[in-house]
Amino acid sequence: MVPLLLLPLLWGALGSLEQQHPGYEIEVQESVTVQEGLCVHVPCSFSYPWSSWSSSSELYTYWYRDGANTNYSAPVVSTKWNKPVRRETQGRFLLADPTTNNCSLDIRDARGSDRGRYFFRVERGNSVKYNYVMKKLHLMVTALTEKPHIRVREPLESGRPTRLACSLPGACEGGRPLTFSWTGAAVDSLDPKNRSSSVLTFTPRPRDHGTSLTCQVKREGSQWTTQTTIRLNVSYAPQNLTIGVSFRNDPVILPKVFKNLQTTSLSILEGEALRLRCEADSNPPAELSWFWGSPGLNATPLSSTAILELPRVGPAQEGEFTCQARHPLGSHSVSLILS
């Protein structure tokens, strides 16, 4: 026979008879998964019989590892300021304000050693000492596979300064500090301080389009690193316009033209079949059109593609042919004079 004086101790420590007490309820996820080094919030609410406590008594709440004897073992977290907690969870496991019946648990910088089951306990005065062992929290800690996320305010525009932000989903304030580093042809010449911030500021150039940009995240005090690489999509106006000429199946590529309305002359024989091809380097691709002479505001193009076919060149075709590259960031043109 168990002495009557020992019953309260067994009751509080083991919770073996607590399911017989109505009014003690808890709502909490029974299984929660978090990746190692990240943070997780476990929502939780509880209730207990209002008639069993005095309003002058302080309310204290705790989370314990499954199997712990609450009379002797330290909790993993406590709202009682002078109650020691386990060293390995101190400062990483946080409890919500219990006065609102909130037993939510926040875990920072999750570790493999945190794996296991936990139960919640409430204390108020001498009459409320209860372990909610009927519904326990099972915490699973898995290997870290999360990748950084790079937020880009697209479209990137050549010549316009922009900011890119790198973050690690699941990380939180108060966890182990993270360090960031950026690498890529577009940013290698930037100030190292800029490249070691979670927010990168730089001005894209046309040559940066299609290049790789990598954000690497390291966790201080460990060898762990993770990274994400993206390809930059930089919009830029037409540049390096060229005109290619082919006749009698012999291709002739004229020199590149870099300035608006710079012209190139070409002498041809009467009766030649001629094909003119216009090319422009831009992103997104420019709309290419061919015009006779300099295109006016409402001029009708000879061709609305990059190709202009001249089946038989004669005196009527002598003169200036202009290729216009139209683009949201600016239009450019190049001309060819046939004689």
Same domain, 126 and 161: no
Domain span including residue 189: 149-232
pLDDT, tens digit (0-9, with 9 covering 90-100), for 284-316: 999 988 888 777 666 788 888 888 887 777 666
DSSP states along 52-68:
GS-TTSPEEEEEEETT-
Same domain, 193 and 205: yes
Same domain, 118 and 26: yes
Check the CA dihedral 125-126-128-132 and report its sign. Answer: positive
Same domain, 228 and 246: no
Kindly tell me if the per-residue pLDDT of 207 is higher than 90: yes
Phi first, then psi: give them for residue 159, nearest 5 degrees: 85, -5
Same domain, 15 and 112: yes
User: What is the mean predicted confidence (pLDDT) over 270-276?
Assistant: 76
The CATH code of the domain that includes 102 is 2.60.40.10
Same domain, 202 and 166: yes
Q: Is residue 113 exposed (0-12), middle (13-18) or buried (19+ Cβ within 10 Å)? A: exposed
Residue that has been written with the tokens 């009527």 in this structure = 316
**Tokens in use for 76?**
């993993």
Same domain, 66 and 118: yes
Last residue of a domain, one of 77, 110, 142: 142
Coarse DSSP helix, strand, coil percentages of the chain, rounded to the nearest 5 percent = 10, 45, 45
pLDDT, tens digit (0-9, with 9 covering 90-100), for 216-269: 999 887 778 899 999 999 999 998 888 887 765 555 554 433 333 355 766 766
Residue 338 confidence (pLDDT): 78
**What b-and-e string marks burial along 217-237, b requiring 16 or more CB atoms within 10 Å of the CB?**
bbbeeeeeebeeeeebebbbb
Same domain, 126 and 241: no
When divided into structural domains, the chain yields a total of: 3
- The span from the CA of 161 to the CA of 274, in Å, is 44
User: What is the mean predicted confidence (pLDDT) over 258-282?
Assistant: 69
Q: Is residue 37 exposed (0-12), middle (13-18) or buried (19+ Cβ within 10 Å)? A: buried
Strand segments (E) across 81-177:
93-95, 105-107, 116-124, 128-142, 149-152, 156-157, 162-167
Residue 51 confidence (pLDDT): 67
Residue 19 confidence (pLDDT): 52
Same domain, 34 and 161: no
Q: Looking only at Cα atoms, what is the longest distance across the chain?
A: 123
Same domain, 22 and 125: yes
CA angle centred on 308, ends 328 and 316, rounded to 5°:
120
Kindly tell me if the per-residue pLDDT of 22 is higher than 70: yes
CA angle centred on 37, ends 35 and 38, rounded to 5°:
65
Same domain, 60 and 112: yes
Parallel/antiparallel/unpaired status of strands 77-78 and 59-65: antiparallel
Last residue of a domain, one of 232, 260, 277: 232
Percent of the chain at pLDDT above 70? 83
Cβ neighbours around 304 below 10 Å, total: 10
Residue 266 confidence (pLDDT): 66
Residue that wins the pLDDT comparison between 191 and 69: 69
Same domain, 50 and 123: yes
Last residue of a domain, one of 204, 232, 260: 232
- The span from the CA of 94 to the CA of 41, in Å, is 10
Q: Say what the alpha-carbon torsion angle 147, 153, 154, 160 is, to the nearest 10 degrees.
A: -130
* Amino acid of residue 58: E
CA angle centred on 32, ends 30 and 36, rounded to 5°:
155
pLDDT, tens digit (0-9, with 9 covering 90-100), for 36-64: 989 999 999 999 987 655 667 889 999 99
